Amino acid sequence: MIQQKVISKRFGKVDPLSIDSYIKFDGYNALEKALTMHPTQIIDEIEKSKIRGRGGAGFPAHIKARALANAKQPKYIVCNADEGEPGNFKDRIIMENDPFSILEGMVILAYATGAKKGYIYIRGEYQNAIKIMKMTIQNAIDKGYLGENILNKGFDFNLEIRTGAGSYVVGEEFSMIESIEGKPGRSRVKPPYPTDKGIHDKPTLINNVETFANFPHIILMGGDNYAKIGTPSSTGTKLISLSGNVKNKGLYEVPFGTSIRDVIFKLGDGVSYNRSIKMVQLGGASGPIIPEYMLDMAIDFERFENFDSKTGTGAIIVIDERFDIFDILLINMNFFVHQSCGKCAPCREGHTQIVNLLNKIKNHRGTEQDLMSLENLANVIQQTSLCGLGQTSMTSIISSLRYFRDDYFAKVRY
C-alpha cells in the first residue's frame, strides 16, 4: 500500500456540503480537543510534529505560528488557496472534497495564536471551490464552529473569502497581502516578514490549504505520532498532483520518502504505449526538470532544496520521449513573461530575454555566446529578483542546463 490517506481520508466519503456528515466522520474532534489545551501547547504539538509548510517553500509551520502568537493584536490568519502553479490541483480537491477540515485547521490555529480574523484567498478560476467554501463558512457559523463565541468557549474567529482575478503572483505571500488590501498583486520588500507586518502592516500568518488541513490530524494524533510518518526531515504525508504523459493522472497522498518513480509507475501506472520518460518537472512551472535516471529520488524537502526551488507543492509532471526540452522550457518561460508583475527589473525585463534566447537556440540560430548569456541571465534573475516568482522561475532552465546540457549543445552553432 503505497498511499497513506491522512488528509484525503474523507475524500469521497463525506458530503462536502454537510457539516453533519463531516462531524459524523471525526470532524471537529480535533477542535474540541484543542480547546481543552493551552494555546502554547498546540504550537508545541505543531513543533513536535515537525510539519513544514505545504505551499512549496517548506518553512517550519511552528515558527510562523509562534511568531504570530507573540505578536500584538490585531493579527490575521490567511489561508493561501490561490493555487496558480501549473500542474497543481491538490488545494482545489481538498476544498471541493473536505472543506471543513481547512476551516477546522484555521480555527485551531486562530485559537493557538489569538488571531480573531482570517481570510481564505481562493484563486478566481476556482468558482466551484469558492462556492463551496462560502457555504462551508456559513454552515460552520450556524453550528457554532466559527464566528463569535466558538463552541461557547468565549473565543471569536471570523473568516472572509477573498478571490483572485487571474494573477499568478498573488500566490506569493506579500502579493497576496497587497491583493487582500485591495491593491494590485505586487510583492513587497522583505524583511519585514508578514508575521511582523502583513495585512495593513499588522502581523499576518499565511499558510497553504494543505498545511491547515494537517493541523486537525496533528492535534488528534499528537505531534510525536505525526512525526513518525514520512522521513526525519520531512514528516507527514504529501498530496501529489500527478499529471502529464501518465496513464492515471490524479491526486495521490503518499508519505514523504516515497520515490517519484513509485508515484509515476505504481500509482500512475506509467506512460502509455510504454513510451520512455524524457523528463519530469517537479512542483510546477517553477520547479526543476529532472531526467529519467533521477526518478528514484525520494519526495523530501531536503532533496528538493538542492534545486533552490519551491518544489514542495508536490506536483509531478511527466513528459515523455516525444517532447523536446525547449518546447517545455518555452511553455514555462512564456508563462512567466505573462505572469511577472513588473515591479522589479530583473523579472520584468529578464523573462522576455530568456524567451528570445530560448527561441534562438531552439531554432538553431543560437551561438555558444547565447548559451552563456542564457545561463548568466537565468542565474541573475534567480539571484536578484524581489519575490518568489523571479527567484524560482529559472529553476527549470538552470536544472535543464545541468541535466540536459547535451540537448543545448546539439542546437548551438559553432
Partner 1 sequence: MVNLKINNIDIQAKENTTILEAARQNHIDIPTLCNYPDLSIKSECRVCVVEINGQKKLHTSCSTVVKDGMVVKTNSPKVLNSRKTIIELILANHDANCTACPKNYNCELQSLANKLGIDKNRFPTVLDIQPIDNENPVLIRNINRCIKCGRCIDMCKNVQSMGVLDVMGRSKDMKITPAYGKFLTDEFCTYCGQCSSVCPVGAIIENDDTDRVWEALNNPSLHVIVQVAPAVRVSLGEELGMEPGSIVTEKVVAALKYLGFDGVFDTDFTADLTIIEEGNELIERITNGGTLPMMTSCCPGWINFAEQKYPEILDNISSCKSPQQMFGALAKSYYPKKMKLKPDDIFVVSIMPCTAKKYEAQRDEMKIDNVHSDVDVVLTTRELGKMIRQMGINFENIEEVPFDKPFGITTGAAAIFGATGGVMEAALRTVYEVVNKEELTDINFTAVRGTEGIKEAEVEIGGQKIKVAVAHTLENAKTLSEQVKNGTSPYTFIEIMTCPGGCIGGGGQPYGTTKAVRDKRIEAIYQVDENMPIRKSHKNPDIIALYDEYLLKPLGKKSHHLLHTHYSSRKK
Residues that bind partner 1 (CB under 8 A): 167, 184, 186, 189, 191, 308, 337-346, 348-353, 356, 373, 376-377, 380, 382-386, 391
User: Of the two residues 73 and 306, which places its CB atom closer to partner 1 in the complex?
Assistant: 306
301 φψ region: left (φ > 0), alpha (ψ -120 to 50), beta (else): alpha
Q: Is the peptide bond before 203 cis (omega within 30 degrees of 0)?
A: no
User: Of the two residues 280 and 386, which places its CB atom closer to partner 1 in the complex?
Assistant: 386
Across the beta sheet with 237-244, the strand order is: 250-255, 237-244, 315-320, 277-282, 289-291
User: Of the two residues 46 and 386, which places its CB atom closer to partner 1 in the complex?
Assistant: 386
39, 69 in Cβ contact below 8 A? yes
In what helix (H) or strand (E) does residue 66 lie, and over which residues does it extend? Answer: helix 61-70
Using DSSP's 3-state secondary structure scheme, residue 240 falls into: strand
Residues facing 226 on adjacent strands: none
CB of 194 to partner 1, least distance (A): 16
CB of 126 to partner 1, least distance (A): 21
Strand bridging mode 250-255 / 237-244? antiparallel
CB of 381 to partner 1, least distance (A): 9
CB of 332 to partner 1, least distance (A): 15
Using DSSP's 3-state secondary structure scheme, residue 158 falls into: strand
Using DSSP's 3-state secondary structure scheme, residue 238 falls into: strand
CB of 14 to partner 1, least distance (A): 40
User: Of the two residues 290 and 377, which places its CB atom closer to partner 1 in the complex?
Assistant: 377
Using DSSP's 3-state secondary structure scheme, residue 406 falls into: helix
CB of 168 to partner 1, least distance (A): 10
User: Of the two residues 149 and 376, which places its CB atom closer to partner 1 in the complex?
Assistant: 376
DSSP, res 306? G
CB of 353 to partner 1, least distance (A): 5
Q: Which residues contact 36 (CB under 8 A, 6 or more apart)?
A: none
Find where cell 502592516 sits. Answer: 201
Residue 59 in grid coordinates: 518553512
Burial of residue 111 (CB within 10 Å: 0-12, 13-18, 19+) is: buried
Find where cell 513544514 sits. Answer: 52
398-402: long-range pairs with CB below 8 Å, 24+: 398/288, 398/308, 399/288, 399/289, 399/290, 399/307, 400/279, 400/289, 400/325, 400/329, 401/374, 401/375
User: Of the two residues 43 and 358, which places its CB atom closer to partner 1 in the complex?
Assistant: 358
CB of 288 to partner 1, least distance (A): 15
- Minimal CA–CA distance to 354: which of 334, 339, 369? 334
150, 156 in Cβ contact below 8 A? yes
CB of 389 to partner 1, least distance (A): 10
User: Of the two residues 166 and 250, which places its CB atom closer to partner 1 in the complex?
Assistant: 166
User: Of the two residues 41 and 359, which places its CB atom closer to partner 1 in the complex?
Assistant: 359
CA gap 261, 150 in Å, rounded: 45
CA gap 353, 335 in Å, rounded: 13
User: Of the two residues 181 and 224, which places its CB atom closer to partner 1 in the complex?
Assistant: 181
Residues facing 280 on adjacent strands: 290, 318
CB of 170 to partner 1, least distance (A): 11
User: Of the two residues 216 and 283, which places its CB atom closer to partner 1 in the complex?
Assistant: 283
User: Of the two residues 147 and 184, which places its CB atom closer to partner 1 in the complex?
Assistant: 184
CB of 402 to partner 1, least distance (A): 16
